[in-house]
């Protein structure tokens, strides 16, 4: 890199509030400490090794990671994806259920529609891959692939292993040029608050952002969103969100860090897009571990702070809350906490199968006044068979086989022969 280029990038970093030297002054006039860029960000310091008064720390992590690959799609792959996309659009489920592409040990569902300017979308529980067609004047700037890595995979698998596997998949799809770059990165911190987090007032947010929006459910605060565009912060009730999404894989990790299984867990999250990441020289996935500590510190001390109102009419002199001090110092790594095999299939959860799925049986039992389960199942199947023959013009077994085949595409699974 030339001296001129280095000065330009250094200037951009300083304009964003990120400097390589320590001892910068806070708005309150007190010195701020900072980590050297080479410090490794430890994602989860053990809860019992930190004395916290305002919150109980549970974990820090990469919550979302989106990567772009420059290059060109292979002609044979493009022809195959065009065919599979047309199959996915077919109204005949026997045809549309075969709209999948196998790469390595993945069975990717091919979407019937593209996304934004990308012509093809491939999905399973690990990756959502958007692929561009052959370059022309209209899409010459589009990358070969734009990939979202699932949060569950990032939780239980090392970033190095994920990237190595993903690079092999993209190499099957096209000819890759240059190193893949980060398009979006979300860093998060989960904790149990020991302060009245629902009493936060919008004036307590001191930020460079222009938008600050609270969210409520049944008149109860469930979260805040600060900013938009290149940088966005979210503080929200993660327990409430999980109750809706049914994604419970975080609960065992929280319990390992002392969560009692009942208290609401909140999440502090920062979403950063390419434009901001370029300013802080974070362009490539392999740089995340090195640079994340500095970025987290900047976001929590220069871009956003939670302060305590005082009688001082100059709001910029209001002191930072103790809770925010703990949040800003919380995250020091982004390595996965524990290794667990993450299924590539997007499978329905047990609640859906064994609770929701029994709704029809229980309704039938109530309708017919049957209390014995064995009798109810037999009568239910007998009546269902008769209904399908009279109203669907096909046996129930054929109907179920067809629906099961359709769902293998959605779940990325195979039917046994």
pLDDT confidence bin for 109, thresholds 50/70/90: very high
User: Between residues 66 and 359, which one has the greater pLDDT?
Assistant: 66
pLDDT of residue 397: 81
pLDDT of residue 56: 94
Look up tokens 């996304």; give the residue: 115
Which residues, including other chains, have CB under 8 Å from residue 342's CB and lie 6 or more apart? 125, 126, 150, 152, 153, 156, 157
pLDDT of residue 292: 87
Q: What is the mean pLDDT of residues 235-258?
A: 91
If one counts every other C-beta atom within 10 angstroms of the C-beta of residue 363, the result is 11
Per domain, the residue ranges of the chain are 3-59+191-328, 66-183, 350-411
pLDDT of residue 15: 35
Q: At residue 7, does pLDDT exceed 70?
A: no
How large is the greatest C-alpha to C-alpha distance in the chain, in angstroms? 84
Q: Which two tokens stand for residue 415?
A: 């039917």
pLDDT of residue 268: 96
pLDDT confidence bin for 289, thresholds 50/70/90: confident
pLDDT of residue 141: 80
pLDDT of residue 398: 79
User: Between residues 19 and 131, which one has the greater pLDDT?
Assistant: 131
Q: At residue 226, does pLDDT exceed 80?
A: yes
| 89: region left, alpha or beta (phi > 0 left; psi from -120 to 50 alpha) | alpha
In terms of Cβ atoms closer than 10 Å to its own Cβ (0-12, 13-18, 19+), residue 262 is exposed
pLDDT digits (tens, 9 = 90+) for 367-416: 888 898 888 888 888 888 888 888 877 888 877 777 777 778 777 888 88
pLDDT confidence bin for 75, thresholds 50/70/90: very high
Of 77-81, 142-146, 406-410, the range with the lowest mean pLDDT is 406-410
Q: At residue 290, does pLDDT exceed 90?
A: no
Q: What is the mean pLDDT of residues 164-192?
A: 95
pLDDT of residue 96: 93
């Amino acid at each position: 890199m030339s001296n001129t280029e280095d000065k330009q990038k250094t200037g951009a970093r300083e304009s964003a509030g990120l400097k390589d030297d320590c001892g910068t002054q806070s708005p309150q006039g007190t010195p701020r400490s900072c980590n050297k860029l080479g410090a490794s960000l430890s994602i989860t310091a053990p809860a019992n090794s930190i004395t916290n008064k305002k919150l109980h720390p549970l974990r820090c992590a990469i919550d979302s990671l989106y990567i772009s690959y420059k290059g060109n799609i292979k002609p044979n792959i493009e022809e195959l994806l065009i065919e599979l996309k047309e199959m996915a659009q077919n109204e005949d489920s026997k045809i549309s259920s075969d709209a999948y592409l196998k790469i390595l040990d993945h069975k990717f569902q091919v979407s019937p529609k593209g996304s934004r300017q990308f012509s093809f979308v491939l999905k399973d529980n690990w990756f959502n891959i958007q692929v561009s067609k052959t370059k022309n004047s209209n899409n010459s700037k589009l990358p070969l692939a734009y990939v979202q890595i699932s949060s569950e995979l990032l939780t239980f698998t090392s970033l190095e292993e994920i990237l190595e596997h993903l690079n092999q998949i993209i190499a099957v799809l096209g000819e890759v040029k240059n190193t893949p770059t980060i398009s979006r990165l979300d860093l998060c911190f989960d904790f149990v608050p020991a302060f009245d987090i629902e009493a936060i007032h919008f004036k307590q947010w001191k930020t460079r952002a222009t938008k600050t929006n609270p969210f409520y459910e049944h008149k109860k605060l469930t979260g805040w969103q600060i900013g938009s565009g290149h940088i966005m912060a979210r503080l929200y009730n993660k327990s409430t969100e999980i109750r809706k999404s049914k994604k419970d894989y975080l609960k065992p990790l929280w319990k390992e860090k002392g969560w009692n299984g009942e208290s609401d867990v909140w999440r502090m999250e920062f979403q950063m897009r390419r434009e901001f990441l370029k300013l802080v020289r974070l362009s490539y996935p392999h740089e995340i571990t090195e640079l994340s500590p500095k970025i987290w510190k900047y976001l929590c001390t220069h871009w956003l702070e939670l302060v305590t109102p005082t009688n001082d009419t100059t709001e910029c002199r209001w002191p930072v809350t103790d809770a925010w001090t703990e949040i800003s110092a919380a995250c020091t790594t982004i390595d996965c906490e524990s290794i667990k095999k993450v299924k590539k299939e997007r499978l329905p959860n047990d609640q859906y199968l064994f609770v929701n799925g029994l709704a029809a049986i229980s309704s039938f039992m109530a309708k017919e006044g049957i209390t014995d389960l064995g009798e109810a199942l037999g009568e239910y199947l007998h009546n269902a068979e008769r209904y399908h023959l009279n109203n669907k013009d096909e046996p129930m077994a054929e109907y179920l086989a067809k629906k099961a085949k359709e769902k293998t595409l959605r779940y990325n699974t195979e039917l046994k022969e």
